[in-house]
Amino acid sequence: MQLKILYDNEASGRLKSGWGFSCLVNEELLFDFGADVETLLFNVNMLNVDLSKIRWVVLSHEHWDHVGGYQILGSLGDVEVYILKSFSNSFKRKLLSFGNVDLKEAKRLEKIDDDIFTTGEMGFLIKEQSLIVRTSKGVSVITGCSHPGLDKILKVASELGRIHGVIGGFHSFSKLEILRDVELIVPCHCTMRKEEILALYPNSSRRCSAGCVIEV
């Protein structure tokens, strides 16, 4: 299964960077929108992404650096959009205004498609969902900001199998020892200890940037 980073604080080559995150999963699922649609669409075009193939959208949480590029919905076909109950009614109305959106509220660990799952709503002060993909290598987790705690997210994901990879924003997570047996670590976006992780796990970690392609 292939992941393609569309929006991140860092960018490769001629791509644009921005404070936010967006990841394309297997050409068919868009995880988060980044902070603005201009940067997102620029990178989409540079990477030759076929937006007509996208069938699902999963939004981790309602912070602008993850949902600000929501206008990209106008360039998609009919899509199922997984949000959380805690999202504001005004934002839900914005999503529905595009007319091609089937809005779904993720409550708990549930299947989106074959081998693709959402953790459902997690956390207390800041509610968030993460994406889980299952392959022959094991289970890989894609996070927005990991506000509920990366350890708690991985515990939920481990119900589906052995953790192979974790990709996305880890925020201020500091229990880095739990990543010891993870074979693929890609700290992105808001990860405060990014350089420490890359130094601590040089054989299993890699740098994240808009444009990078990750096989899980």
**pLDDT of the residue at 4:** 98
Name the pLDDT band for 11 (thresholds 50, 70, 90): very high
Query: What does the DSSP assignment read for 102-121?
Result: EEEE--SSEEEETTEEE--S
**pLDDT of the residue at 174:** 97
Name the pLDDT band for 21 (thresholds 50, 70, 90): very high
What mean pLDDT is reported for the chain?
98
**pLDDT of the residue at 191:** 98
**pLDDT of the residue at 108:** 96
**pLDDT of the residue at 201:** 98
**pLDDT of the residue at 32:** 98
**pLDDT of the residue at 171:** 97
- What digits encode the pLDDT tens for the residues 175-216? 999 999 999 999 999 999 999 999 999 999 999 999 999 999
In this prediction, residues 36-60 reach a mean pLDDT of 98
Residue 204 has φ and ψ, to the nearest 5°, of: -115, -15
Helix (H) or strand (E) holding 91: helix 89-96
- What digits encode the pLDDT tens for the residues 130-145? 999 999 999 999 999 9
Q: Which two tokens stand for residue 193?
A: 């200890």
**pLDDT of the residue at 73:** 98
In this prediction, residues 19-35 reach a mean pLDDT of 98
Helix (H) or strand (E) holding 81: strand 79-83
Name the pLDDT band for 55 (thresholds 50, 70, 90): very high
Short-list 152, 158, 155, CA closest to 171: 152
Name the pLDDT band for 1 (thresholds 50, 70, 90): very high
**pLDDT of the residue at 212:** 97
Q: Where are the domains of the chain?
A: 2-215
CATH topology of domain 2-215: Metallo-beta-lactamase; Chain A (3.60.15)
3-state class (DSSP) for residue 76? coil
